[in-house]
Structure 1
Amino acid sequence: MLEIDLIEKCKQNNRKAQMKLYNMYCDAMYCIAMRYVKNADDAKDVMQESFIKAFKKLDQFKAEVTFGSWLKRIVINKSIDFLKSKRQHFVSLNESFVQLVDDENWEMESPLDIADVKFAINKLPDKYRYVVMLYLIEGYDHEEISQILEITNTTSRTHLLRGKQKLQSLLKERAYGTGY
């Protein structure tokens, strides 16, 4: 059965179709939630809430993007909402004091192990980690990040720049045996 047919059946509240669509995406969406909430039970809750929201809002899915991309955005938003409800408050910077530079160069002097990079990303302060993850891992641009995190575009760029600097510093410390 084609995914679009499956989605149409889900819109008609067909429980078997909903379960099939859920089974197609649950593992991937769980992994995405885990990247943010860092707890298996919380990630399962976020994933479940995301599917519930997706099924309720399925009539808003217009197939302009793949269903997986649409659902991924819901999972990321739910993950961030969960984290905000726990503890995180994002503070916007006064944009008149901010001077931005290019955030495209992510090169490091020494070769890196992916485990070291993941570990270093998890060591970043939350406000930087979320922007770095949304930008590098999820592939969102600053406009999308600013909407997801409810921060200004400039704040998104600043957090990415500072997150990149902190990440590079952590990775250099790790490479030279002085960090973590």
Structure 2
Amino acid sequence: MFHINLVAKCKKNDRKAQMQLYDKYCQGMFCVAMRFLKNEDDAEDVLQEAFIKAFQKIEQYKGDVTFGAWLKKIVVNRSLDFLKVKKAHMVALDETYMQVAQDDDWTVEDGITVQEVKMAMEGLSEKYRLVLQLYLMEGYDHDEISEILGITNTTCRTRLLRGKGQLKEVLNERFITKKSRLD
């Protein structure tokens, strides 16, 4: 109820309500931006742009999802836009010709921590890391990821599968190294 009242006030351009929503969601949305950008200054810039856009477009918020989910989508899209601009000089690889194999096995060795998974993801190429991050950490499905990244569903599934394979390979290497140090 509290959020509904704040959003209603924000739609009337109430600056205090905007500040209250900003204070409520700033830290969480900063963490979302940091997961993509890995740089505090860039994440702060993207966060500010996301809040500005959210308050400019608040009339489009209809309440069919939580305000936090709506805002998170804006932060994710702004983060991805930032990365696209940063990588604009790179040539995209067309993966639409690839066939997708189905592999729903996400198990890893016992003893591998969430932090080790996150660190291993950092070493992956951006195209695989972004799909994995959106799927595993942000909870988006293939259709949503395809729309966010502007790729086909097949490309999304292919990148997820390949990224998962690379991630498992890195984690297995680290686990073997970690285990040999303990022995």
Distance of 1:65 and 1:103 partners within structure 2: 30
| Partner Cα distance (1:53, 1:34) in 2 | 18
Deviations 1:63-89 (A, max 9, x none): 110000000000000000000100155
TM-score (norm 1): 0.93
* Alignment deviations for residues 8-66 of structure 1 (CA, whole Å, 9 cap, x no partner): 10011100000000000000000000000000000000000000000011000011100
TM-score, normalised to structure 2, is 0.92
Q: Distance in 2 between matches of 1:164 and 1:146?
A: 17
Tell me, yes or no, if structure 1 residue 106 matches structure 2 residue 139: no
Q: Does the Cα contact within 8 Å between 2:120 and 2:170 map onto a contact in 1?
A: yes
Q: Partner residue of 1:92?
A: 94
- Report if aligned partners of 1:32, 1:76 keep a CA contact under 8 Å in 2: yes
AA partner of residue 74 (structure 1) = I
- Gap regions ≥5 residues in structure 2: 179-183
Instruction: Show the counterpart of 2:18.
Output: 18
Q: Which runs of 5+ in 1 are unaligned?
A: none
- In structure 2, distance between residues paired with 1:111 and 1:99: 33
Deviates more, 1:111-120 or 1:147-156: 111-120
Structure 1 range deviating more: 78-87 or 104-113: 104-113
Which residue is 1:52 aligned to? 52
Residue 114 of structure 1 and its aligned partner are, at CA, apart by: 1.6
Shift of 1:139: 0.7
AA in 2 matched with 1:155: T
Deviates more, 1:79-88 or 1:43-52: 79-88
Rounded to whole Å, the distance in 2 between the matches of 1:13 and 1:44 is 23
User: 8 Å contact 1:103–1:160 — kept in the other structure?
Assistant: no
Residue by residue over 1:65-124, the C-alpha shift from the partner in whole angstroms, topping out at 9 and shown as x without a partner, is 0000000000000000000100155433133xx221224210023331122111001111
Query: In the alignment, which residue of structure 1 is the partner of 2:181?
Result: none
Partner of 1:123: 123
| Percent of aligned positions that are identical | 54
Q: Is the 8 A contact 1:110 1:175 kept in 2?
A: no
Question: Over aligned residues, Cα RMSD in angstroms?
Answer: 1.4
Per the alignment, in what secondary structure is the counterpart of residue 76 of structure 2? helix
Residues matched between the structures, number: 176
Q: 1:78 maps to what in 2? A: 78
Do residues 27 (structure 1) and 27 (structure 2) align? yes
CA distance in 2, matches of 1:176, 1:80: 34
Could you tell me how far apart the structure 2 residues matched to 1:32 and 1:140 are?
Answer: 13
1:2 Cα shift? 1.2
Q: Which runs of 4+ in 1 moved over 4 A?
A: none
- What does 1:33-44 correspond to in 2, within 5 Å? 33-44=33-44
2:124, 2:166 within 8 Å by CA — same for their partners in 1?
yes
Aligned residue for 2:79, secondary structure, equals helix
Matched, 1:64 2:64: yes
Which SS does the other structure have where 2:112 is aligned?
A: coil
Distance in 2 (alpha carbons) for counterparts of 1:173 and 1:110: 14
